Structure 1
Amino acid sequence: MKMLIFKLALLLLLSNQGRCGLLTKKLIKELFHGEDPYNRQIRPVINESTPTNVQMKFFVSQILNMDERLQQLKTNVWLTYVWTDEFLRWDPADFNGLKSFKITSDLIWMPDIVIYNNAADSYEPYMFNKIVMVDHNGRVNWASPIIIQSSCQLDVANFPFDYQKCHIKFGPWQLDGSELTLNGSGDETVFRSDGEWDMIGLTHETTLMSYVDSPGILHYDVNYTIHIRRRPMYYVFNLLVPCILIASTTLLDFLLPVDSGEKVSLGVTVLLSLTVFLLLIAQSMPPSSVVPIIGHYYVSTMVLVSISILLTVSVINLHHRGPYCRPAPRWLKRIILGQIAWYLRLQPDHFKNMKFAPDKRDYNANEKTFSPRKSVRKQIVEEWDRYKSENGKVTAPNDSSTQDGGQRRDEDQLLLLRRMNEHMKYIRAHFEESDEFEEIKNEWKQIALVVDRVFAIFYVLGTIGTGMILVFKVS
């Protein structure tokens, strides 16, 4: 019994559907092939002075792509147009209560609404080959999802923390304001984020204006503005974090010992790495005069790294000053080794209680003064002349006296002692001069170490300042 009832219901449904199909076929035949057939070339109004009012609804479904370099926005939108076609009306009573039917848009009149800022390869009409629904009172509803590629003037000054406003302008191309009026509305509730962009608003504005190709003729248009904000975490982890880490690596350049010979090589390597990342940013940005904030950060970091290389070369120059260089000036030692080194805890032990005397590096040993500014040989000659002046010449024996072998041996021994004394003075002066030169070299190395730490502090402050400027601009 139940099976019989089910079969009867199914037959009744199929018969109703078949009857509806026959009614629709009959209605379409009467409208399009009757005595006064429908003509889609004519604007569907009985009175030519009556404008056709088109209601437009715009829904943003998804942002498919934002090409920053070409400044183009590709979106998936849902469009709906509603207007009244006075030639598509009938009495539902004449067609067994049929109030609406669906037909392809190629068979009826369609408004010539185009996208003014279209960036696609062609201006192919997007309203044809679609399904429209026609009501018995002449109301036509066209609705379809389409993909729009439009131009969008980007403001990349705050990239990747940027906020963009992209405009999509719709309007009729041939029908002026006396023939077609256009009113728009929009909704962003159907938006689905692609992971990079979030929609924060959708606004629209309907205007009536004339254009240069048809002066004096007013046209309606609707300008939709899509307000979107970029999600910056992708660029933070792929562009900003590597830059910060590379810039931090430059700090190791100041901590690296000068004798390692790798200080300049490390700085140059860091500079080249930053250049590669800057090129990646330049390839994705539009070729305009506006430099994004991340570009400013990279350039500032590159300037800091370049300055660090220059400072490193200065430190190496100070470190490798040899014995042929002049000793460090008194004021330089007082400021760097006496004050700055104390604050940095790099002061040598023998400088902690030192009071810097006048800039004379002479020292006294056995009441005899030696200066490293004089050559060793010159000091020996001067010492020998001083010795002769103090002791006088050796008095020769009288010719009449007897020169026996004992006296000759005494003279030979005296001459030998004099020669030994000369050699000992030479050796003493040589070692004293070597110690003095080594002390000069060590002082310059210590000065270079302190200066290197000072440069490191300035570099850290510059890096922190650059980062703070970036944060303030973003906020």
Structure 2
Amino acid sequence: MKVFVILCCAFAVALGASNTLWNDTDLDTLRNALLKDYDTHVRPSNSKTTTDLWVGMTVLHMEIIEATSTLETHAWLKMNWTDVKMKWEPAKFNGIDNMRLSADDVWQPDLTVYNSAEDKIVDHYAKTNKIAYPSGAVLWVPTSKFKTYCSLNLKMWPFDQQKCEIKLGSWTYDANQLKLRLSDDPVELKHYYKNQEWVIVDSSVEHHQTKYDCCVEPYEDITFYFTLSRRSPMYKAIAVVPTIAIVFMVLIAFWLPPDAGEKLILNGFACVLVCVLLIYFSQLLPVMSETSPLIVSFYSQTLYLLSASLIISAFVINISRKKGHKALPSFIKTIFLDNFVETVFACKSKAAEKAEHTVEDGNAGENATKDWIRFAVVIDRIAFVVYVIIFICMGFFHFV
């Protein structure tokens, strides 16, 4: 029993000693003095006094998501304001000239992204500490992630530039209560992590004051504008270079002998290649109701031209290989063979010269075959010239 009493006394002495080991620091004293009875839900100014909020942004990373027409931004949002409840005299607190506070300790402005594309209401800012100063100034630089709507124009894809915006404003405080101001350097890019696809080529900031239908008081917002240019070396290899190969395949087909079946193979392969690329584009790009990329339009029009080229090739092969032709109609012969047309377009091609040397005079059927072969050559050459002109016009319209 005596042992138990002795142990209880020792424990009580130790407990009392532990309570006297800790003394409040100067920061504890200052914190208790400032935050006693502090209401974080009340704006720290008199009702007739406006709180000035200085805003700036340090951009860390940006990414445009075409599928959802959104801009994803990682940044540090710099906010400064004066909290009259947080003033103190450093001399009374051992010279303390700043103090760290948790995010929920003091009032903070309800700065909201007006054009947010988040699926649900989220807190845009991380719960980082605030820094308070004796003058009542409060500095808060939370890491932030914004997902905002961006109206995309992919007409010039993959050489496009997109202009997107981030619109920030108070959700409940009007301009008479919370005055938004731009910091000295409102947009900083020195900490920007380079994107593999997008480059920021321009940035600007504008301050607006708007009256909404819901309220009589004006509300302010600060809108950050960013112009991003796509870096397109890979897209050049995927989308642009194949156009050169396809154009050459189409044009080469017109220079093959008129009876060569390779014409159909070449044009057919070009058709398959165009279809594959169009399917690839449909998976890569969103469906745009207003404008479609010019490169997609180019491939679509090329597919029509290839279809026409297949028809021309099939017709040329048919009239070149068929034996026992009737004589070429006189008006066709007059227009295409007996004047400068054949000289200009066919240039007495090897196929026509071969026909002339292999066909004996006096045989009406074989002479007719010779005329049809010469006519086929002229059709090929005329089609070649027409397609060259069409491709030049299309290239100028789509890529220049």
Superposed CA offset, 1:32-74 (max 9, x none): 23xxx222121111x21112111000122221x2112311011
Compute the displacement of 1:432 (Å).
Answer: 9.4
Asked if 1:66 is matched to 2:43, the reply is no
Compute the displacement of 1:236 (Å).
Answer: 1.4
Q: Secondary structure at the match of 1:125?
A: coil
Q: Do 2:258 and 2:376's aligned partners in 1 also have CA atoms closer than 8 Å? A: no
Asked if 1:25 is matched to 2:22, the reply is no
Between Structure 1 and Structure 2, how many residues are aligned? 367
Equivalent residue in structure 2 for 1:167, among 165, 168, 171: 165
Q: Larger deviation: 170-179 or 250-259?
A: 250-259
Q: Secondary structure at the match of 2:104?
A: helix
Superposed CA offset, 1:142-187 (max 9, x none): 0022221111011222222222110110011111122111123422
Aligned-pair RMSD on alpha carbons?
Answer: 2.5
Q: Do 2:336 and 2:342's aligned partners in 1 also have CA atoms closer than 8 Å? A: yes
Q: Do 1:188 and 1:201's aligned partners in 2 also have CA atoms closer than 8 Å? A: no
What is the CA–CA distance in structure 2 between the aligned matches of 1:106 and 1:245, rounded to whole Å? Answer: 63
Give the equivalent residue in structure 1 for 2:219: 219
Give the equivalent residue in structure 2 for 1:264: 264
Please show how residues 261-340 of structure 1 align to structure 2 within 5 Å: 261-283=261-283, 284-323=285-324, 325-338=325-338, 339-340=340-341
Q: Percent identity?
A: 27
Q: Secondary structure at the match of 2:208?
A: strand
1:350–1:22 Cα change, 3 Å: closer
Asked if 1:134 is matched to 2:132, the reply is yes
Give the equivalent residue in structure 2 for 1:462: 390
Q: Larger deviation: 95-104 or 242-251?
A: 242-251
What is the CA–CA distance in structure 2 between the aligned matches of 1:285 and 1:274, rounded to whole Å? Answer: 19
What is the CA–CA distance in structure 2 between the aligned matches of 1:208 and 1:432, rounded to whole Å? Answer: 92
2:385 corresponds to which letter in structure 1? I
1:310 corresponds to which letter in structure 2? I
1:189–1:127 Cα change, 3 Å: closer
What is the CA–CA distance in structure 2 between the aligned matches of 1:78 and 1:141, rounded to whole Å? Answer: 12
Q: Secondary structure at the match of 1:107?
A: coil
1:57 corresponds to which letter in structure 2? G
Give the equivalent residue in structure 1 for 2:181: 183
Q: Larger deviation: 449-458 or 219-228?
A: 449-458
Compute the displacement of 1:304 (Å).
Answer: 2.1
Give the equivalent residue in structure 2 for 1:48: 47
Q: Do 1:58 and 1:184's aligned partners in 2 also have CA atoms closer than 8 Å? A: no
What is the CA–CA distance in structure 1 between the aligned matches of 2:366 and 2:31, rounded to whole Å? Answer: 110
What is the CA–CA distance in structure 1 between the aligned matches of 2:287 and 2:67, rounded to whole Å? Answer: 4
What is the CA–CA distance in structure 1 between the aligned matches of 2:216 and 2:199, rounded to whole Å? Answer: 40
What is the CA–CA distance in structure 2 between the aligned matches of 1:169 and 1:147, rounded to whole Å? Answer: 13
Q: Do 2:264 and 2:313's aligned partners in 1 also have CA atoms closer than 8 Å? A: yes
Scaled by the length of structure 1, the TM-score of the pair is 0.72
Give the equivalent residue in structure 1 for 2:19: none
What is the CA–CA distance in structure 2 between the aligned matches of 1:259 and 1:320, rounded to whole Å? Answer: 6
Give the unaligned 5+ runs of structure 1.
Answer: 1-20, 353-430
Compute the displacement of 1:281 (Å).
Answer: 2.2
Give the equivalent residue in structure 1 for 2:5: none
What is the CA–CA distance in structure 1 between the aligned matches of 2:245 and 2:206, rounded to whole Å? Answer: 47
Compute the displacement of 1:94 (Å).
Answer: 0.4
1:26 corresponds to which letter in structure 2? T
Q: Secondary structure at the match of 1:255?
A: coil
Give the equivalent residue in structure 1 for 2:209: 208
1:134–1:349 Cα change, 3 Å: closer
Compute the displacement of 1:91 (Å).
Answer: 0.5
What is the CA–CA distance in structure 1 between the aligned matches of 2:98 and 2:371, rounded to whole Å? Answer: 100
Superposed CA offset, 1:96-132 (max 9, x none): 1101011111111111111011112322123452111
Give the equivalent residue in structure 2 for 1:149: 147
Superposed CA offset, 1:326-384 (max 9, x none): 201344334433433333432555999xxxxxxxxxxxxxxxxxxxxxxxxxxxxxxxx
1:319–1:44 Cα change, 3 Å: same
Q: Do 1:346 and 1:450's aligned partners in 2 also have CA atoms closer than 8 Å? A: no
Q: Do 2:90 and 2:96's aligned partners in 1 also have CA atoms closer than 8 Å? A: yes
Asked if 1:439 is matched to 2:363, the reply is no
Q: Do 1:253 and 1:266's aligned partners in 2 also have CA atoms closer than 8 Å? A: yes
Whose Rg is larger? 1
Compute the displacement of 1:298 (Å).
Answer: 1.6
Q: Secondary structure at the match of 1:106?
A: coil
What is the CA–CA distance in structure 1 between the aligned matches of 2:106 and 2:139, rounded to whole Å? Answer: 12
Q: Secondary structure at the match of 1:126?
A: coil
What is the CA–CA distance in structure 1 between the aligned matches of 2:267 and 2:64, rounded to whole Å? Answer: 36
What is the CA–CA distance in structure 2 between the aligned matches of 1:83 and 1:238, rounded to whole Å? Answer: 51
1:92–1:329 Cα change, 3 Å: same
Give the equivalent residue in structure 2 for 1:346: 348
Q: Larger deviation: 156-165 or 72-81?
A: 156-165
Scaled by the length of structure 2, the TM-score of the pair is 0.84
1:211 corresponds to which letter in structure 2? Y
1:54 corresponds to which letter in structure 2? L
Give the unaligned 5+ runs of structure 2.
Answer: 1-23
Q: Larger deviation: 233-242 or 105-114?
A: 233-242
1:195–1:132 Cα change, 3 Å: same
Q: Do 2:125 and 2:145's aligned partners in 1 also have CA atoms closer than 8 Å? A: no
1:351–1:254 Cα change, 3 Å: closer
Compute the displacement of 1:303 (Å).
Answer: 2.5
2:395 corresponds to which letter in structure 1? G
